[in-house]
Amino acid sequence: MEKPIPISAKTRIFCIIGHPITHSFSPFIHNYWFKELGLDFRYLAFHVHPDQLKQSIKGIKALNIKGFNVTIPHKETILPFIDKVDVLAQDIGAINTIKLEEAKLIGRNTDALGGKKALLDAGCKIKNKKVLILGAGGAARAISFALIEDIDYLVIANRTSERVRILVGDLIKKKNCEIKYINFDTQSLKQELGEIDILINTTPIGMFPNISKSPISKEIIHSDLFIFDLVYNPLETQLLKDAISIGCKAQGGLDMLINQGALAFEWWTNKKPNIDKIKDKLIENLMRN
Ligand code: NAP
């Protein structure tokens, strides 16, 4: 590939803000696509403490930065500083992608559609299916609102009952189908799993460095399940290993990561990035670490 265009007074900046931030793959992904498409853009990561969120948004606007991402812990707390968010992001109550348009900040949640696309592209049928989600944090909110219109039944298991109760309440306002929550323990999960078609892990359990952990015991999963683990580091989590070993169809979190980036990239630049090449590069990168 050609060298990137040298930085000059014309170079435009995009960025991600988070706390912590050094784990983020977004600079790698977007800078790869900028270089590949010969765009005079750069993407940087900024460590922004929650106390500095408001000031950082003012700064981004003042510097005329045309697009940026937010990650943990700013996805919800940024909303009061955003001028307009689309309906899906309003429902989710969180955004991860922002575009500056005519001096207004517009927010979207590309995790939601990126996750749904990853499932569909992996051959998972969603329409009228029964889904069990593990976890009730930001990623669970994004994926559950992305799927809720299509599925027939949703059960969410979470460690903290207050958080899952609020999520289920918000989902019920959106769609009047059977949606409930259960405790996050083996007995409760076992009782539900017999009926379930798609199991989605949105907890960080199994993520590097705790790679031998799985959010659910292998003994209670069955081979008719489609298992989607949002964790992408490692590429094959313990949950995915267990799923594959008993004959389930399974999908890791890498495609969702790439899809959410691609949706942001297209929105900012009106150009389609190369999904396959960046996937190979990310796999190389993740295998090295
Ligand atoms: P979050 O808002 O902090 O939510 C984390 C969820 O996991 C909460 O429901 C939390 O339960 C639960 N949890 C955490 N540790 C647990 C433990 N030891 N035992 C049981 N439950 C536990 O985080 P998030 O933004 O949703 O992200 C969650 C995971 O998804 C991360 O691994 C992240 O990397 C991944 N993710 C992947 C993508 C992708 O593109 N592939 C996108 C977004 C997120 P409590 O409510 O009880 O705390």
- Mind listing the pLDDT tens digit for each residue in 205-249? 999 999 999 999 999 999 999 999 999 999 999 999 999 999 999
The C-alpha atoms of residue 107 and residue 93 are separated, in whole angstroms, by 11
* pLDDT confidence band for 287 (50 / 70 / 90): confident
Catalytic residues: 75
Whether 84 has a pLDDT exceeding 90, the answer reads: yes
| Structure confidence by residue, pLDDT tens digits, 26-47 | 999 999 999 999 999 999 999 9
* Phi then psi dihedrals of residue 204, to 5 deg: -85, 10
Specify the ligand 1 atom closest to the Cα of 260: 40
Residue 143, ligand 1, Cβ within 6 A:
no
Query: By the 8 A CB rule, do 137 and 163 touch?
Result: yes
pLDDT at 176 over 80: no
DSSP E strands, the chain: 12-18, 41-47, 67-70, 84-85, 97-101, 104-108, 130-134, 153-158, 178-183, 198-201, 226-229, 249-251
Q: Is the pLDDT of residue 270 over 70?
A: yes
Q: Could you tell me if the CB of 256 is within 6 A of ligand 1? A: yes
Mean of all residue pLDDT scores within the chain: 96
Cα 90 versus chain centre, distance: 16
pLDDT band at 4 (very low <50, low <70, confident <90, very high): confident
In terms of phi and psi (left: phi > 0; alpha: psi -120 to 50; beta: otherwise), the region of 99 is beta
CA 102 to chain centre: 27
Residue 1 has a pLDDT of 64
Do 157 and 205 touch, CB atoms closer than 8 A?
A: no
* Ligand 1 proximity of 136 Cβ (cutoff 6 Å): yes
Rounded distance, CA 133 to CA 122, Å? 18
Distances (CA, A) of 109 to 55, 59, 85, 96: 22, 22, 9, 5
Q: Which of 161, 202, 251, 254 to mutate to test the pocket of ligand 1 (most atoms within 8 A of CB)?
A: 202
Average pLDDT over residues 127-152: 96
pLDDT reading at 171 higher than 90: yes
User: What is the CB-side half-sphere exposure of residue 110 using CA atoms within 13 A?
Assistant: 25
Which residue puts its alpha carbon closest to atom 27 of ligand 1? 139
